[in-house]
Amino acid sequence: MPEGDTVYRTATNLNTALAGKTVVRCDIRVPAFATVDVTGEVIHDVVSHGKHLLMRIGELTIHSHLKMEGSWHLYRDGTRWRRPEWQARAIIVTDDWTAVGFQLGLLEVVPTADEHSVVGYLGPDLLGPTWDAAEAERRLTADPSRTVGLALLDQRNLAGLGNVYRNELCFLRGILPTRPIGEVPDVARLVDLAHRLIDANKDRVDRTTTGTLRGATDWVNRRDGKPCLRCGTRIERGTLGDDELTLRDIYWCPTCQT
């Protein structure tokens, strides 16, 4: 599932191409919203909120979430699409560009005035203009018995972190993902690191948490069985989740993390 920095870049690219343009064709291929037509309306902007993307057109907002398989593409007129047309869920066309949302895990249309109904439950947006570190810390520590790995992935606490950042943050702070958040020293430093790490990657096509794009770009994520880049101990892998739907792989160094 894409991390918040990927969705941020997607929104930025869409906004650069579409903001201020008038829609000349609209095709929403989701039954519940198939009759929605914003042809003739102006695209005000496209923004991200955590892992959610909001395309504001006229008085409506097209709200999408990429989930595991989704993506938004931009094409010039006549350019061949990189994915098959049957995967398209939304097509928004201006005089200059065609924006296509493929296999979007979630697609709905709401009045812009009611955006809070679809993203209002989310915690502070790590890449948003109103990022609030103190509020993120308060939410993370509201349940001291919850594991830090689950608390970090809960978008109601802070919006934008995915499994890659969860694993890497725990390593960088020397914390096992299974450790209760109430036992984590200085959660404020964890929150600050999360913000700095995702912010540093928001404009990069290739993400890195090690500080290099040559060689290993991750400390532990998907490196199970390989030596820790710090101490040489083999990285281990397990799973962590509230239920089967939220179950994700976790990776850690048994020496560097406690």
List active site positions: 2-3, 51, 248
Residues facing residue 236 across a β-bridge: 252
Give the pair of three-digit tokens for residue 138. 């308060």
Pairwise CA distance, residues 177 & 85, whole Å? 40
For residue 78, what are the contacts with CB-CB under 8 A and spacing of at least 6?
none
How many alpha carbons fall within 13 Å on the CB side of residue 90?
29
Question: Which residue's structure tokens are 């934008």?
Answer: 160
Count the Cβ atoms, other than its own, within 10 Å of residue 182: 13
Region label for 251, one of left (φ > 0), alpha (ψ between -120 and 50) or beta (otherwise):
beta
The DSSP string of 9-66 is: HHHHHHHHHHTTPBPSEEEE-SGGGTT---TT-BEEEEEEETTEEEEEETTEEEEEE-
DSSP state at residue 87: G
Question: 73 by DSSP, 3-state: which?
Answer: strand
Closest to 42 measured CA to CA, from 62, 28, 59, 29: 59
